[in-house]
Amino acid sequence: MSAATFRTADGELARHPFAWGLFALALIGFPAWRYAVEPPLPADAFTLVPAFALTDQAGAAYGHDDLIGQVTIVDFIFTRCKDVCPTLSSHMAALAGDLGAADAASPIRFLSISVDPDYDTPAVLSAYAQRYGARPEQWRFVTGDRVLVDGLIEGLQQGLERDPGTGEVPNIMHSQRFLLIDPMGGVRGLYSIDAEGLAALRHDARALAGATMW
Rounded to an integer, what distance in angstroms lies between the CA atom of residue 99 and that of residue 106? 8
Structural domain count, the chain? 2
- Whether 81 has a pLDDT exceeding 70, the answer reads yes
Whether residue 55 sits in one domain with residue 33: no
Whether residue 165 sits in one domain with residue 67: yes
Whether residue 182 sits in one domain with residue 77: yes
What contacts 136, CB < 8 A, 6 or more positions away? 56, 57, 58, 129
- Whether 114 has a pLDDT exceeding 70, the answer reads yes
Q: pTM (2 decimals)?
A: 0.77
* Domain membership flag for residue 126: yes
Whether residue 53 sits in one domain with residue 138: yes
Whether residue 77 sits in one domain with residue 27: no
Whether residue 25 sits in one domain with residue 87: no
Domain containing 193 equals 47-208
Whether residue 97 sits in one domain with residue 9: no
* Domain membership flag for residue 135: yes
Question: 11-45 pLDDT, tens per residue?
Answer: 343 444 444 343 343 433 433 333 334 445 556 77
Whether residue 113 sits in one domain with residue 8: no
Whether residue 185 sits in one domain with residue 85: yes
More confident residue, 11 or 71: 71
- Whether 154 has a pLDDT exceeding 90, the answer reads yes
pLDDT for residue 42: 55
Whether residue 63 sits in one domain with residue 23: no
Section 78-85 average pLDDT? 93
User: Across the chain, what does the average pLDDT equal?
Assistant: 80
* Domain membership flag for residue 195: yes
More confident residue, 1 or 135: 135
Provide the CATH number for the domain around residue 159.
Answer: 3.40.30.10
* Domain membership flag for residue 42: no
Whether residue 87 sits in one domain with residue 119: yes
* Domain membership flag for residue 213: no
* Domain membership flag for residue 214: no
Whether residue 13 sits in one domain with residue 54: no
Question: 203-214 pLDDT, tens per residue?
Answer: 999 988 884 333
- Give residue 101's pLDDT band: very low, low, confident or very high (50, 70, 90): low
pLDDT for residue 25: 39
In DSSP terms, 55 is beta-bridged to 61, 143
- Whether 152 has a pLDDT exceeding 80, the answer reads yes
* Domain membership flag for residue 116: yes
- Percent of the chain clearing pLDDT 90 (strictly above): 59
Let me know: does 140 contact 92? Beta carbons within 8 Å: no
